Amino acid sequence: MSASGGAGPHIDINIASQSLALVDGRGCRVFECPVSTALNGPGERNASGCTPRGKHFVRAKVGGGLPANTVFVARRPTGEIYTAELASRHPDRDWILSRILWLCGSEPGKNRGPGVDSFRRFIYIHGTPDTEPMGVAKSHGCVRMRNADVITLFDLVEPGTAVVIHEA
């Protein structure tokens, strides 16, 4: 059983192992991949740059049907497709690519509400340049994935899918 304790399908994110699993309602892992969570570690406070722990759900899906490596700013496609040349022109961008699963906290006072709201912190599961390492904490709070992996996950889940983020 996962950290959620629930019986429905859910996304299980393990900060310690930098891994993500989609678990079906019977507890079987139907998809697994490495991820990259926050360089600043786990934490729920606004502006902390940390990955929030606890129970969440997918509030919105953004980017369905767009090409892999589509660049997003403020959840809107910019019309750009990520390339090394584009990256060299914008070296300080935090690249959000391909797909976005926007998370909302389910635990008032922990990851939902004033000072700790995952949704208002814009915590996503999203694609990142394939040159970025996976299995290493390096994000600004979001959960980064390889583009092919985030596209696969995106196609397997719906809004409302439970997400559990834990440390062990």
pLDDT value for 7: 67
Instruction: Kindly indicate the confidence band of residue 30, based on its pLDDT and cuts at 50, 70 and 90.
Output: very high
Domain span at residue 44? 36-162
Determine, yes or no, domain membership for 62: yes
* Structural domains of the chain, count: 1
For residue 124, give the amino acid letter.
Y
Give the phi and the psi of residue 104 in degrees, each rounded to 5: -125, 130
Tell whether 17 is covered by a domain.
no
| Residue 157 within a domain | yes
Provide the CATH number for the domain around residue 62.
2.40.440
Instruction: Please state whether beta strands 124-127 and 143-145 pair in parallel, antiparallel, or not at all (unpaired).
Output: parallel
The reply to whether 24 falls in a domain is no
* pTM, to two decimals: 0.93
Residue 30 lies in a domain: no
Give residue 5's pLDDT. 46
Q: How far is CA 53 from CA 98, 105, 123, 135, 137, in A?
A: 24, 9, 11, 17, 14
In a domain, 1, yes or no: no
In a domain, 138, yes or no: yes
Task: With beta carbons less than 8 A apart as the criterion, state whether 138 and 39 touch.
Answer: yes
74-114 pLDDT tens trace: 999 999 999 999 999 999 999 999 999 999 999 999 999 99
* Largest Cα–Cα separation, the chain: 47
Closest listed residue to residue 153, CA positions, set 22, 23, 65: 22
Of 128, 120, 165, which is closest to residue 20 (Cα–Cα)? 165
Dihedral class, residue 76 (left if φ above 0, else alpha if ψ from -120 to 50, else beta): beta
Does the structure show a pLDDT above 50 at 2?
no
pLDDT tens, residue by residue, 128-165: 999 999 999 999 999 999 999 999 999 999 999 999 99
Residue 7 lies in a domain: no
